[in-house]
Structure 1
Amino acid sequence: MRRTRATSLIGLGVAGIVVGFLVELAAAGTGIAVFIPPLTLPITLVVIAIIVVSFAVPIRRATHGKSNRRIDPFQAMRIVVLAKACSLSGALLTGAGAGILIFLLSRAVIPAGSSIWLTVAATVGAAILLAGGLVAEHMCTIPPDDQDDQPENAHAKSP
């Protein structure tokens, strides 16, 4: 499995901005109330980021020799996939929050202060989820073997 690339995160962020802005624009144009994220959204996103990073800590300890406990490789793979999903969904939600914020701030009449602060909080919570996913993914990587760098093992490598 490859590490999460910056291009995919940027692409999802831009897609989130466009979708967030256009959905709010369509809702306002049809007379439907615009979406204001609830206070529980950023709290939930931050808690998920903390949980994902805490799942990755034992794997980090085992791969760097600080723990003697064996790690199930299937469990490690599940945690890496969860971390990757968190980083990708965090990028998308950060973009969507930014799109909603752009829509709210571009109106002639700025909405009530609580709606702007709730949107900022949701965007920050999504960015924390993105960062937590990337940190957890980094924590689950295996350090390179010292034997691969030695010249006498160069003939053992396959092309």
Structure 2
Amino acid sequence: MKRTSPLTLIACAIIGAALGAIVDVALTAASRATFTPSYMLPILLVLLGVFCLAFAWQIRRAVRDPKAPRPDPFRSVRIAALSKASSMLGAASGGFALGLIGYVLTRPVSLGLGSMTAEIVTAVGGAALVVLALVAEHLCTLPKDPDERESDAGSSGAEPQY
């Protein structure tokens, strides 16, 4: 499994921003109020990142302690996949919030900061989820088995094993 690439995260953020702007345009065209995310959304995004980090920390601790049994590689892959999906979710939700902010800022009527607080906090929560999930993904990297190290001694630039 490859690590999450920055291009993937940028693509998720761009798609999220486009969807956020489209939602606000559609709501405004229908003479409705613009979309405002709940304040629970950024809290849940940060909590998801903290849980990913906590799960990954258990794997990292098992890898670092020589007396501990080797961690289950399937569990490590599951946590790495959760971290990868969480980083994409964080990029998409942060981009969505930025799209909402971008639409509101392009309106001819200027709004106060208080009306955009939920969007700003959601964008920050999405960025926090991306950072926490990428750190968790890095913590799930398992060292190679001694048998594999000898056979791969001549190769360089190998992908990390989860």
TM-score (norm 1): 0.86
Return the letter of the residue paired with 2:90.
G
Structure 1 contact 97–122 (Cα < 8 Å) conserved: yes
Question: Superposed, which structure 2 residues align to 1:1-159 within 5 Å?
Answer: 1-65=1-65, 68-143=68-143, 154=154
Q: Distance in 2 between matches of 1:144 and 1:130?
A: 27
Cα displacement (A) at 1:90: 0.8
Contact 1:80-1:136 within 8 A present in 2 as well: yes
Give aligned pairs, total.
Answer: 155
Deviation at 1:89? 0.8
**Equivalents in 2 of 1:66, 1:5: separation in Å?**
31
Any gaps of 5 or more consecutive residues in structure 1? Answer: none
Percent identity over the alignment is 35
Task: Write the distance in 1 (CA, Å) between the matches of 2:114 and 2:12.
Answer: 27
CA shift at 1:71, angstroms?
2.0
Tell me the distance in 2 between the aligned counterparts of 1:129 and 1:63.
24
8 A contact 1:61–1:67 mirrored in 2: no
Q: What are structure 2's unaligned runs of at least 5 residues?
A: 156-162
Q: CA RMSD in A?
A: 2.5
Contact 2:36 2:119 in 1 (8 A): yes
Q: Deviations for 1:99-122, whole angstroms, at most 9, x for unmatched residues?
A: 101111111113353331111000
Runs ≥4 residues deviating over 4 A:
144-150
Aligned residue identity for 1:76: S
